[in-house]
Structure 1
């Protein structure tokens, strides 16, 4: 395993290996998109110049993004057009961490930047706002060495950057399972160990069934991101992670619109004849009255939309007129999400804290206590999820039986044999609660879980602005740190900065837009601003 000495302090504080990898991916995609536009414009100019201004020059290999902007200004405009200078309204879909943080960020900008007013609706469908093996050691250490070589090289040493890029690109096209089963991987990657059944043992001991089907680069880079000093503390949130959402909700200026499901996103493409006029995004929202069991549907216009739902939940909406790019549509359809299930049981006493177990980290002991009995990923979660009911704990006798059996099997010892312990667990059982994130209609998956090649070919498609710069996908999947709360937060900062950049480009004389951008991306050469959770831009931003 790589040691903590390899990780520079700056990387451990946010600009980690995944950010660097993601930045390369984004920069490569930007260059490819520019080349594709050049090819398309050259084709149009060669076949029919009547649709292009006479002064437009045929793009060459050296034509830059800025040159393109100037050339196409009369056709596309230079930026976003606000309905009223400094006043916009955003539709935020989903009140998870990303949605709540978006609202908090807008509130902060409103209170900090004079002349900027970002109104918003926070729309939520739910009823409540709720080991590395030695076989990978050589690969991890090789990644370290290549990262160190790249950092030691001058900024313009493109040869070393290209070498490093090819190394990770080849790795991204392999799954962990493929690498562990391989032997000869060519000159760019280390030889694989050629394991067979050992792979199953490693996967079971370290992660969960099916976890090694993810991309090799994902697995290794995540391991490096967690490669921090041993004395760095891990914190437990009293009350569980849901406490974070409740505290965030208590801080925002506008209430969450519960029982409200967005069923359609419309970019009003037919109305976009002029680049100088504001055209809104329209959301169709179905609100349910849970008491009267009645629904009403309404349409609301917004300057822009921040969608913080999972990609699976987004796919359930009518997005045929949402103005999505082709690549974004494919990413929404194909990017992988991991399965996850949790089962908690309330017992009449904390049996695990007394003899002969003595797992005594807390002081409940003889009081009724709740134990997280099962937290599964991958195929293990898919199998266990088949036993979970939508009306938990009702209709879950088989689930209860399986979990109690597993608890007894795991903890039984000479002093407390299996049969004795199982009897006591059944006796002390009070109730339980189970959840399957793939079975949740508002989720359709637990967290982003990219397969081979998906980071390097699909992830960048969901961080692009869509709908002419008025639709942004935020949340953990839209970050290099997918699967983690920090990824959700970083995605919001990036999307907000990108929107403000579009507004500033469309109205460069209006200073509040630039002031807000400066807050999100402070100048390192100036005195540090007061501590704030709303900056800096994530390290994955292409520069």
Structure 2
């Protein structure tokens, strides 16, 4: 089948705006052509700033410029609160710049929301309970890219390499099991294969209207997102303002009351999406309740930044990042089991005109007060809320953000089995699974099959993520945490039903399992930041400001426009290092930071090129979308 040549603007115009295209070109040809263009554009735009970077520039402006003036360097020590990826990355940069630092961690473990659970010493017997995959996009260059300043490259140069490998986001035999009907990854989501439409459920008003049910969920979400992609492509400033005008609306409210479309309406009249369709879209693409507590801004930006054709994982688990950084900065740089309970202004260092402010940090159980020249808090906001910061005189908005910024719920369940039964053609009735993820409306919601150890036929322990839940799904599953027997039975029953495998067989195969709820983990108190309506525009600019005369700084994924990803933690850490250097007036080190570690567009955003999306409407409507929080 020959495909028409179309530019990105033509794709947007013909897929979003209801105009007639020449009849000799079918709608399917149009979508396929635009999808190919989208995949090409992802590669072309690999080094371009993301939509979130432009958003940051609009909200907070640029970092102070680096001048050619240098000043003498005094000896300083920076206290870093929290040994997650943000704290460790800040330490890695300070170490190279020759600045003394200490990392204080309340937990007995290091890594924050990077957490790999190892069931045994067998090489494939582990599961990432936190961050586990990285899209191959220009946005992720700082983490897994080939630039000299990427984290992967830095660790390799320091002699502590980590290895990336393909992460398979989908496989043709991945079950898609909803509404009691089973399909597979190679089944097109057209003509209502899951029987959610009115015609299968009792007539008009009993299910999803048939016209909507006939096309994939990504098609209808793509129409909503496409409006903003089109606007920002034509004129970013105007499109961004249009998006920000909707920031106080949830995804559900926007679809049900603001967005208008005429494709499934009589005579093409315009109307909003019906509620059954919206719930169906949510069920298929994200966690239950996600459309209610996330803003439309979040949905648009997630699509723009993280719709990707390729993904990667870290061999041996994402915690390999943590180990490599620790080996690079020295494990003695991090003190564990040190819970900070107070951060306040300290006694000035020096006298008279030479007096410089300090920051006092009180650690529980220690009589002495630690004094630092700067403090960087990288802890999750739920933890920061429990630290006494009253004497810092934080702004009203920052205190409000610390208390109320929404964190998404996420619960994972991992299991270890005697064999890789999901790869066995006999067990799987001729449909073996090699990587990817299954989805269902059963309580486990999603099963992720390991992309490592594929085709390893040895009979020994193998880990698999058998339940990946968000939102209300996660809350309900975690409600059985105190009844291990009932929870185990539910998990195995769901797993057996999803795969058409005998539950007793799975029970005999099971070696061990673990449930992990980030809400219940006292050192995080939440999974990852997910801005609710109004919060992005209201709180983000305030969260990144330094306090106490430029001596107290705030990092962590919640303080980045790329929140909920490791990238956000790294970008925020880079920003706080630069803020320390700004306060000290060390422009030579600021230049060294940029030379050795690149630039962070969401912080040093002056001179950004015109906005070009790394994806198009077609890639949203025809490819695997990522608007959920499968990240950290």
SS of the residue aligned with 1:468? coil
TM-score (norm 2): 0.63
> Structure 1 residues 265, 335: closer, same or farther in 2, change over 3 A?
same
How far is the alpha carbon of 1:170 from its aligned partner? 1.5
Distance 1:451 1:352 in 2: 38
Report if aligned partners of 1:135, 1:193 keep a CA contact under 8 Å in 2: no
Q: Of 517, 526, 532, which residue of structure 2 is paired with 1:436?
A: 517
> Structure 1 residues 269, 322: closer, same or farther in 2, change over 3 A?
farther
Matches within 5 A, 1:52-451: 85-110=73-98, 118-130=99-111, 133-150=218-235, 161=237, 163-183=238-258, 193-213=272-292, 214-228=294-308, 230=309, 233-253=310-330, 254-268=332-346, 277-286=355-364, 295-354=365-424, 355-357=426-428, 358-360=432-434, 362-365=454-457, 366-388=459-481, 396-412=484-500, 416=501, 421-451=502-532
> Structure 1 residues 347, 279: closer, same or farther in 2, change over 3 A?
same
- Asked if 1:503 corresponds to 2:577, the answer is no
> Structure 1 residues 247, 14: closer, same or farther in 2, change over 3 A?
farther
List alignment gaps of at least 5 residues for structure 1. 31-64, 67-81, 111-117, 152-160, 287-294, 390-394, 505-512, 523-531
Distance 1:329 1:272 in 2: 31
Q: Of 510, 517, 541, which residue of structure 2 is paired with 1:460?
A: 541
CA deviations on 1:445-469 (whole Å, 9 max, x unpaired) are 0100100111111111111111221
How far is the alpha carbon of 1:490 from its aligned partner? 0.7
Distance 2:370 2:53 in 1: 36
Q: Of 17, 22, 33, which residue of structure 1 is paired with 2:56?
A: 22
Distance 2:87 2:270 in 1: 44
- Asked if 1:492 corresponds to 2:593, the answer is no
Distance 1:360 1:476 in 2: 32
Q: Of 29, 47, 56, which residue of structure 2 is paired with 1:13?
A: 47
- Asked if 1:535 corresponds to 2:598, the answer is yes
CA deviations on 1:180-221 (whole Å, 9 max, x unpaired) are 2125679xxx97632211111111111111111201011111
> Structure 1 residues 385, 274: closer, same or farther in 2, change over 3 A?
farther
Distance 2:604 2:396 in 1: 22
- 2:183 match: none
> Structure 1 residues 265, 241: closer, same or farther in 2, change over 3 A?
same
Distance 1:306 1:234 in 2: 31
SS of the residue aligned with 1:467? coil
List alignment gaps of at least 5 residues for structure 2. 1-14, 16-33, 66-70, 112-215, 262-268, 436-453, 607-632
Distance 2:542 2:290 in 1: 24
- 1:35 match: none
Alpha-carbon RMSD: 3.0
Bigger relative contact order (CA 8 A; separation at least 6): 2
Q: Which moved more, 1:233-242 or 1:1-10?
A: 1-10
How far is the alpha carbon of 1:17 from its aligned partner? 0.5
Q: Of 501, 520, 527, which residue of structure 1 is paired with 2:593?
A: 520
TM-score (norm 1): 0.73
